[in-house]
Structure formats: structure tokens, C-alpha cells
Amino acid sequence: MGSEPEASEREASADRIIAFSDGVVAIAITLLILPLTEIHPAEGATLADIIVENRAALGAFALSFAVIANYWTIHHDVFRPLRRHDARIGLLNMFWLAAIVFLPFPTALIADGIDGGFAAFYIGTLLVVSVLNLLIANYLAHDPELTDREATAESRRHVVASAFSVGAILIALIISLFSPSLGLFGLLLLFPAQVIAGRVNRVGQVNA
Amino acid sequence: MGSEPEASEREASADRIIAFSDGVVAIAITLLILPLTEIHPAEGATLADIIVENRAALGAFALSFAVIANYWTIHHDVFRPLRRHDARIGLLNMFWLAAIVFLPFPTALIADGIDGGFAAFYIGTLLVVSVLNLLIANYLAHDPELTDREATAESRRHVVASAFSVGAILIALIISLFSPSLGLFGLLLLFPAQVIAGRVNRVGQVNA
Amino acid sequence: MGSEPEASEREASADRIIAFSDGVVAIAITLLILPLTEIHPAEGATLADIIVENRAALGAFALSFAVIANYWTIHHDVFRPLRRHDARIGLLNMFWLAAIVFLPFPTALIADGIDGGFAAFYIGTLLVVSVLNLLIANYLAHDPELTDREATAESRRHVVASAFSVGAILIALIISLFSPSLGLFGLLLLFPAQVIAGRVNRVGQVNA
Amino acid sequence: MGSEPEASEREASADRIIAFSDGVVAIAITLLILPLTEIHPAEGATLADIIVENRAALGAFALSFAVIANYWTIHHDVFRPLRRHDARIGLLNMFWLAAIVFLPFPTALIADGIDGGFAAFYIGTLLVVSVLNLLIANYLAHDPELTDREATAESRRHVVASAFSVGAILIALIISLFSPSLGLFGLLLLFPAQVIAGRVNRVGQVNA
């Protein structure tokens, strides 16, 4: 057997792991609406009553939708150069998927209340996802066989971006131990963290 | 790196955003049946009893299934010429998906009753989806790089069709503030709106 | 624009309608387990108690899983030769998907009891799916442009098979009006119906 | 019609059965979180209370996620060389999918308690999946037409691996009849079983 059909077989293989991941993320992001579909307005309740009563659940839905959408976009970017995959990247990806699938549980908890450690639990789950992003990007950056040429440079930029995200979420987690609501707002640190990571990456490119 | 592999990489990339969107829409449209599966007939109840009791839930299922099926068809047509995508179209698409995923919530609310602002809430969610359709079609129509040649003309036709849809839903929304049930029937204005948009597009083609 | 890129674009288009349908069917078939996951054994209950108590729900799951798996296989075979699609086949397919998505509702009803018209409702839903199969196969058989060459002959065989299925389900439906349980067993008529359809098709091929 | 387009048509066909299977598995693995999203902390309950109270449900989620992820990886490896498929492999695959879709039911049962035969029921479901893995791998190993060249050797290795898995689960099942918790831990026998299967396969390769 020549090397070309084998390579194409491996590509299809990478395609399938990506398609499976997309399916899992698509379901996890859609299931977030389920708790809201179980709301039954009391006799005579207006839309305003329903929204005020369920504002935490609505906020938790919006937050987790944004979080999963963002993680999917990162996954999309990190896996884009992947042509083949091995058992280790498959395993790291399964842990990543487990953390994404798990997220609706802490989401449901913070919809009921953020005190008692629930905000920290939610932020901690995000920390796990981001650490797995870092491990995956790092693995791809060091195994150039797994990706396209030029992709190693791209993977290195993902490592930097993931590391800054882990830092931002870690700070939010520490804040949440003192003030749960401030901790959740601390997740906004992800935005400046990405801006700084972008600058670090641009400096790195110029120096290279 | 030559330009061809890069182009192919971007195409794969557009494929994945489309596959992810299809997954999310497929789940959202299927979840609509869940509230109906929780119906347990009382001792001795007949099919007629169940259907009469749950006619609002059955109607809401049929309406939202038709709505999401229709939006999927529009999404399919609008994204067909897309070969590559950038961050902005990815973001607009995520907002579009968020509105589609959100739809089962207002659907569950109008299954319980349409008074108290719930019909307006349902129609308002449709308005958000249609405005996002308009923004996406408009963005594609103005960035010819994103699509095939000839596709710009097609995207312009989608802009016109989306604008007429937004107009029809806006009228239904205003009606629903006075009469919720009349507002929901007002959604039927979408049919003549599409006929008129089709004529406007044909006139535009002749003049071009 | 030449004719080749256009053809390839249409093929991708047919791929997407098939992928979307697969997603919807995959979700509908998986959701069938949800009612069973809500069973909480009473203190001290054994597996035997749970199975005896929920035998109707277990039977309904097995029946509907087999039904949807079978309809997916038929859909797979009928759509295999499809290369392009038009608005009408898209609409017929959406009605087909709506009936498949609807099926978990009558499934949940017959899990609670089959008297009072519920068995007939279940069989009636299957009749709708099978009639839509017939309409889709018939449409493809008469529009050779939509499919590969040779595919017209294959589509004609699907028309015959679908027609026999419609006949078998119709008989089961009529029986169910007199005896609900006998009606459900009447669905087994689908097996001899397919054997006869196979023979009719073979005779037709020999004569052609 | 020449043989090449026909072959390509059959390949697409194998792609679709794989994509459908991935969809079903992706949904089944994601639905596992649903029971956890229905937990509503009592007034003043802390995260520690919730975790202690629901430790069985959390353990059942983790176990079943790992089980389904592992079965998906096996499915991925077993089906990788598949280029075409026939009715029998389609039917075996549907039974495999039915067992995977069924798994959330025994998972929900062992989340409530493992005595009374529930652990054995859970392990028995895994046994069914593994026996189906064995049947599928065996079928592919004996029908070289279905797969790539060289793939027959790979399929034979899957037969050996599946046979050892069936053995390990059978032992766990027998143990569970005496001690449910010990039976569940007995599933860890799957790890040494795979190591031994790997050695047997390597010896077989050397001898061949």
C-alpha cells in the first residue's frame, strides 16, 4: 500500500473526531435552554414577572451559551491545522468534551444561586476546559507531524492565548472565593487577556 | 505556502461552521417535542381529550417546527455561496444560533398561554432571528471575497427577502401588542412579504 | 459561470439537506430513552420490579427505536441517488422530518396505555411517515434530473416498496380501531409486505 | 454505468452510516448530564452538600461518559477501514446504536442505587455492546470486500481485542451478582484485558 491512501485515511479519521466533537458541543449548547422550557407561568403572570423571577436562569443561559460558543471557536481554530490524530490527542479531546458536557450542571446550579461555592464551581469548570485547551495546543505545537507546515507557528500562538486565558480564569476563581458575583464578573478579564496575548504573539512573530 | 492549500483550508473551515450550525438547528427543532412527551393521560382519558387539552402545546410545536424549518432553509440558502469565513460572520452566526436555541423557551410559554405579553415575546424572538438574517446577508453581499463569483447578486436578493421578512414580523409584533392571537396570525404576512420580495428581486435583475 | 462549479455547488447542497436530516433523526431516536431515565426505583425495589412496572415503556422504546431505525434506512436508500435538490423535495423532506420528530409524542402516550385511540394515533403517525416516503420516492422517480442515471429505476422500486408499506400500515390502523394491541402486532405485516414488494420489483426488472 | 462511480456512491453511503452513528453517540453521551441539571440545591445548601448528596449520580455520569467515549473510539477504529456497507453491517450497527442509546437508562438506575440487580443490569448492557463490537469486527474480518486491503489484518486484531473485552465484562457481571460494587470495580479488568489482547495481537503479527 502506498503512502498516499494511508495519509487520506488518516485525514478522514481527523475529520471524524472533529465531526464528533462538533456534535457533542452542538448538543451541550442547545441543552442549556431546557431548564427554561420547564417554566410554567402562574395564572395571570405577565412576561415581566417571568423574566424577573427567572433572571438568574436567563443570565446563566446567556453566560454559558457565550462560554461554549467561545470554546467551540477556539476548538475550531486549534484543530483546523490537524490532519491526522493519535491516541493522546483523542484522549485529551475526550476530556475536553467531558468538561463541556459537564458545564450544564454548574450552569443549572448558578441559575438557582451563586453563594455556597457554586460560582467557584462554575468558574472551576471553565478553568478545566481552558487548561485542556492549553494542553491540546501545546501538544500540537510540539508534534509538527500532526499538523500542516506553518501550523506549528499557529499552534504556538494558541498556546500563548490559552495560557493567558488560564491566568484570567484563575484570577476570577480566586476572586469568587471572596465574592461569588465579583468572581463571575471577573470572567470579563478574558477580554483584556486575549488582547495582551495577541500583542505577545505579534511581538513573537516579528522577532522570529 | 501557495494560495491553493490555504483556500482549501478555509473552505473546510466554512464547512465546519455550517455543520456546527446544522447540528444546533437539528437539536433545537427536535427538542420542541419534549414538552409533549411529558403528557401523561389521566385514567380513562381518550385521544380526543388529550388533543383538546393540549391543543395550544400542539399548535406551538407545529408553529415553531415550521418557523425553525423555514429559518434553516434560509440559512442554507444564505450560506450556500460561502467558501471562507471570518470572525465577524462567525460572531453573527453565533448570535443567530443563540436566537434559534432560545426559541423553545418562548414556544413553551405560548403553549401555556399567549396573553400577558407572551405572544409578543415569541414574535420578538422571531424578529431577532430575521434581523440577524438581514445582517448576515448584508455582510455577505458587501464582502464579495467571502463568496463565489455571482454569489454577490444572490446575496443581494437575500438582503431584500430578509428586509421584507423583518417588516412583516414587525407588523405582527405591533398587532400582538393589541391582540396576541391576531399577532400570531399576523405571522402569515410572511407569505405575501416573500412573494413581493421575489417580484422586487426579479425587477432588480432585469434592470441590472 | 460554467456548468461544472454550479453542479458541484448543488451536490454540496444535497449533502447538507441529508446531513441535517441525519442529525434530526439521530436526535429523535436518542430522545426515546429520556422517559426511561426519569424512572426512580422505590426503596427496596429490584430490577425485576422496575422492568415489570415499566414493561410498556420498555416495549414502546424498543418498537419506536426499530421504527425510526428502519425509516432512517429507507431515507438513506431513497436519498442515495439524490445529487441536487429543489424546493419541493426540501419541503417534502421537512414534513417527513416533522413526522419523525413527532413520533416520540405518540410513543410516550402508548407507554402509558394503548386504549382510548392511542394505538391508532401511533399507527397513524407511522402512516404519515410512510405516505411521505411514497411521495418522495415518487417525486424522485418522475424527475430524473434530480438523480443519477439508473437511479430512476431504483426510485421506482422504492415507490413500490413504499406503497406496500402504506398498505400494511393502513391494515394495521384499521385493525387497531377494533383491537389496539392486535393493531400494534399488525405492524408485523410490514415484513411480508416488503417480501412481496421485493418480488414485484424483481418481476418488473425481468420484464423491463 | 462503469464501476468507479458506483464504488464512490457506496463510499458516500458508508460515510453516511458513520455520520449517523456519530450523531447518535454524541447525543447519548451528552444526555448523561441531564439528570444532574435537574438538581436544585435546598436553601442554604453548599457545594459540598450537593456533591456528597449526588455522589452516586456524579460517579454514574463519569463512568458512563468514559464507557461511551471508549466505545466510540472502538467504533471509530473498527469502522475506519470500512468503505462500503451491506444490509447486515447496517443491522448490526443499529443494534449497537440501540444498546448505546439504552445505556442512559441503567446509568440513571445505578445513580439511585446499585443493589437489587441494577449493577448487573448496567454491566449486562455493556456486555451487549461489547458482544456487538465482537460480531461487527468478526464480520468485517471475514468479508475482505467490505474494507481496504490490509484492513482484514486490522479487523482481526479488533476481533481479539473485543473478545478479551467480552471476557472481562463477563467476569465483572458474575462478580456483580455476589457484590454489586465489586462488580462495577471489576470493569477495571478491561484495562489488563486490553494489554493482554495487545500482546496476543503482536505475537500473532510476528507469526504471520
Q: For D50-79, what is each residue's pLDDT tens digit?
A: 999 999 999 999 999 999 999 998 898 888
**Whole-number mean pLDDT of chain C?**
86
Nearest to D9 by CA among C72, C157, C150: C150
| Residues in B touching C26 (Cβ below 8 Å) | 26
| Residues in A touching B34 (Cβ below 8 Å) | 34, 37
Give the distance from residue D11's alpha carbon to the nearest chain C alpha carbon, in angstroms: 11
Q: Can you tell me the mean pLDDT for D105-122? A: 92
Query: What subunits touch chain B, counting only 3 or more CB pairs under 8 A?
Result: A, C
Element (H, E) at B73: helix B55-79
Alpha helices by DSSP H, chain D: 3-31, 34-37, 47-53, 55-79, 87-102, 104-112, 118-142, 151-178, 180-186, 190-207
- Among D16, D34, D104, select the one facing C18 at the smallest CB separation: D16
In contact, D82 and D14? CB cutoff 8 Å: yes
Hey, how many other C-beta atoms are within 10 angstroms of the C-beta on A48?
Answer: 10
Dihedral pair phi/psi, residue A61, rounded to 5°: -60, -50
Residue B42: C-alpha distances to residues B46, B53, C124, C162 (Å): 9, 11, 22, 36
CA nearest to A29 within chain D: D30
What gap in Å lies between CA C147 and CA C158, rounded to an integer?
14
Question: Are B46 and C102 in contact (CB < 8 Å)?
Answer: no
Residue D144 pLDDT exceeds 60: yes
Question: Are C33 and D31 in contact (CB < 8 Å)?
Answer: yes
What gap in Å lies between CA C97 and CA C70, rounded to an integer?
14
CB < 8 Å & 24+ apart, contacts of D148-153: D148/A1, D148/A5, D148/A9, D148/D81, D148/D83, D149/A1, D150/A1, D150/D81, D151/D81, D153/D205, D153/D208
Please write down the HEC assignment for all residues of D35-81. Answer: HHHCCCCCCCCCHHHHHHHCHHHHHHHHHHHHHHHHHHHHHHHHHCC
Give C100-115 pLDDT, tens digit per residue.
Answer: 999 999 999 999 888 8
Residue C2 pLDDT exceeds 60: no
- Residue D207 pLDDT grade (very low, low, confident, very high; cuts 50, 70, 90): low
Which of A77-81, B34-38, B83-87 is predicted with the least confidence, judged by mean pLDDT? B83-87
Dihedral pair phi/psi, residue A184, rounded to 5°: -65, -40
The C-alpha cell 475529520 sits at A15
Q: What is the pLDDT of residue A9?
A: 42
In contact, D122 and D109? CB cutoff 8 Å: yes
- Among B16, B24, B120, select the one facing A18 at the smallest CB separation: B16
Grid cell locating C180? 389496539
Question: Are D116 and C38 in contact (CB < 8 Å)?
Answer: no
What gap in Å lies between CA A85 and CA A11, rounded to an integer?
8
Question: What is the SS3 assignment for A110?
Answer: helix
Q: What is the pLDDT of residue B153?
A: 80
Residue B7 pLDDT exceeds 50: no
The neighbouring-strand residues paired with D82 are D147
Q: Which amino acid does the sequence have at C82?
A: L
Give C55-69 pLDDT, tens digit per residue.
Answer: 999 999 999 999 999
Q: What is the pLDDT of residue D7?
A: 39
Give B111-120 pLDDT, tens digit per residue.
Answer: 988 888 999 9
| Residues in A touching B101 (Cβ below 8 Å) | 29-30, 32-33, 65
Grid cell locating D87? 444490509
- DSSP class of A147: B
Residue A81 pLDDT exceeds 90: no
CA nearest to D149 within chain A: A1
Dihedral pair phi/psi, residue A12, rounded to 5°: -55, -40
Please write down the HEC assignment for all residues of B114-136. Answer: CCCCHHHHHHHHHHHHHHHHHHH
**Contact residues for D128 (Cβ-Cβ < 8 A; gap 6+):** D99
- Among A49, A50, A65, select the one facing B101 at the smallest CB separation: A65
Q: Which amino acid does the sequence have at B203?
A: V
Give A152-161 pLDDT, tens digit per residue.
Answer: 788 888 899 9
Q: Can you tell me the mean pLDDT for B35-55? A: 91
Q: What is the pLDDT of residue D116?
A: 86
Question: Are A27 and D22 in contact (CB < 8 Å)?
Answer: no
Q: What is the pLDDT of residue D34?
A: 93
In contact, B131 and B166? CB cutoff 8 Å: yes
| Residues in D touching A90 (Cβ below 8 Å) | 73
> What are the DSSP E strand ranges found in C2-73?
none
Q: What is the pLDDT of residue A206?
A: 67
The C-alpha cell 423535495 sits at C89
Give the distance from residue C23's alpha carbon to the nearest chain D alpha carbon, in angstroms: 6
In contact, D157 and D145? CB cutoff 8 Å: no
In contact, C57 and C109? CB cutoff 8 Å: no
**Whole-number mean pLDDT of chain B?**
86
Residue C145 pLDDT exceeds 80: no
What gap in Å lies between CA C95 and CA A193, rounded to an integer?
48
Nearest to B154 by CA among B68, B60, B78: B78
What gap in Å lies between CA C14 and CA C21, rounded to an integer?
11
Give A98-152 pLDDT, tens digit per residue.
Answer: 999 999 999 999 998 888 899 999 999 999 999 999 999 998 888 766 666 677 7
Which of A204-208, B199-203, C67-71, C148-152 is predicted with the least confidence, judged by mean pLDDT? A204-208
Q: What is the pLDDT of residue B4?
A: 37
Q: What is the pLDDT of residue B206?
A: 67
Residue B144 pLDDT exceeds 70: no
Dihedral pair phi/psi, residue C82, rounded to 5°: -65, 125
Q: Kindly report the CA angle at D94 between D91 and D95, in degrees rounded to 5?
A: 90
Instruction: Enumerate chain B positions whose Cβ falls within 8 A of a Cβ in A.
Output: 1, 5, 9, 12-13, 16-17, 19-20, 23-24, 26-28, 31, 34-35, 90, 94, 97-98, 101-102, 104-105, 107-109, 112-113, 116-118, 120-121
Grid cell locating B79? 450560506
What is the CB-side half-sphere exposure of residue A131 using CA atoms within 13 A?
9
Radius of gyration of chain C (CA): 20
**Whole-number mean pLDDT of chain D?**
86
Nearest to D187 by CA among D88, D120, D142: D120
Nearest to A34 by CA among A13, A65, A3: A65
Q: Can you tell me the mean pLDDT for B11-35? A: 87
Grid cell locating D17? 452510516
Q: What is the pLDDT of residue A59?
A: 93
In contact, C78 and C38? CB cutoff 8 Å: no
Q: Which of A15, A18, A30 to mutate to test the interface with B (most CBs of B within 10 A)?
A: A30
Q: How far is CA B179 from the centre of its chain?
A: 23
- Residue B2 pLDDT grade (very low, low, confident, very high; cuts 50, 70, 90): very low
Residue C206 pLDDT exceeds 80: no
Residue A84 pLDDT exceeds 80: no
Question: What is the SS3 assignment for D114?
Answer: coil
- Residue C98 pLDDT grade (very low, low, confident, very high; cuts 50, 70, 90): very high
- DSSP class of B33: T
Q: Kindly report the CA angle at D192 between D186 and D195, in degrees rounded to 5?
A: 155
Dihedral pair phi/psi, residue D193, rounded to 5°: -60, -40
Q: What is the pLDDT of residue C10?
A: 41
Q: Can you tell me the mean pLDDT for B175-193? A: 92
What gap in Å lies between CA C21 and CA D89, rounded to an integer?
21
Question: Are C20 and B26 in contact (CB < 8 Å)?
Answer: yes
Q: Can you tell me the mean pLDDT for A20-43? A: 92
- Residue C83 pLDDT grade (very low, low, confident, very high; cuts 50, 70, 90): confident
Residue C46: C-alpha distances to residues C40, C54, C57, D160, D179 (Å): 11, 12, 17, 35, 15
The C-alpha cell 459540598 sits at D48
Give the distance from residue A153's alpha carbon to the nearest chain B alpha carbon, in angstroms: 13
- Residue B8 pLDDT grade (very low, low, confident, very high; cuts 50, 70, 90): very low
What gap in Å lies between CA D126 and CA D80, rounded to an integer?
22
Give the distance from residue A28's alpha carbon to the nearest chain D alpha carbon, in angstroms: 6
**Contact residues for C139 (Cβ-Cβ < 8 A; gap 6+):** C88, C89, C92, C146
Q: What is the pLDDT of residue C207?
A: 66
Residue B130 pLDDT exceeds 80: yes
What gap in Å lies between CA B51 and CA B59, rounded to an integer?
10
Residue D36 pLDDT exceeds 70: yes
- Among D29, D31, D36, select the one facing A105 at the smallest CB separation: D36
Q: What is the pTM of this model?
A: 0.89
Nearest to D24 by CA among D14, D12, D13, D16: D16
- Residue B121 pLDDT grade (very low, low, confident, very high; cuts 50, 70, 90): very high
The C-alpha cell 438574517 sits at B133
- Among D25, D47, D73, select the one facing A117 at the smallest CB separation: D47
**Contact residues for B72 (Cβ-Cβ < 8 A; gap 6+):** B22, B25, B29, C20
In contact, C157 and C133? CB cutoff 8 Å: no
A153: exposed, middle or buried (Cβ count in 10 Å: 0-12, 13-18, 19+): middle
